Amino acid sequence: MKKLSLYFLAAIVVANLAACASDGDCSLQGNWKVKDAEVTSDKLDETVLGMAKDIMLKTTYSFTADSIVIKSGGPSGEFRGSYALDAVGQTLSWNTVGVSNSSQYSDNMKILSCNSNELKLSKRNPVDTTQAALTTSTMVLVREN
């Protein structure tokens, strides 16, 4: 029975990895822009959610093998730092610092799908699920040529 459970667990991990890299190429290296974004909340006004969505739609991401540059679509400017892609846990996280003001920006997002040209991510704020959700958001990034 233990062997069967381990095989079943291994099959789930393999299926999840296949879903993450649906066409076999989930490399992040390159430049990405946000094609679509959604932000929902039971607690915040639609105007605030619309402003957050507008900022998301104007933000770009540039990945190298070991670094990330985020150009915010809002007043925050540019952030530089490192990122981690966890294919097993299907998460993308980064730690960055603002270029103009040294403010820190970290994020941890769930990878919903990934291929050579499109990356779909979601996140919940706060990440701590013992706290009530303030916002839930999804965004679709597309590779720029």
Q: What is the pLDDT of residues 67-116, one digit of tens each?
A: 999 999 988 899 999 999 998 889 999 999 999 999 999 999 999 999 99
Model pTM score: 0.79
Which pair of tokens denotes residue 91? 């998460």
Instruction: Indicate whether 15 pLDDT > 60.
Output: no
Write out the residue range of the structural domain in which residue 20 sits.
2-143
10 Cα distance to chain centroid: 25
Cα distances from 5 to residues 1, 16, 19, 55, in angstroms, run 6, 17, 21, 45
Q: What is the pLDDT of residue 21?
A: 39
Radius of gyration in angstroms for the set of CA atoms belonging to the chain, rounded to a whole number: 17
| Alpha-carbon span 36 to 30, nearest angstrom | 18
Q: How many domains does the chain have?
A: 1
- One-letter identity of residue 7: Y
CATH of the domain at 69: 2.40.128.280
Q: Across all residues in the chain, what is the average pLDDT?
A: 84
Which amino acid makes up residue 61?
Answer: Y
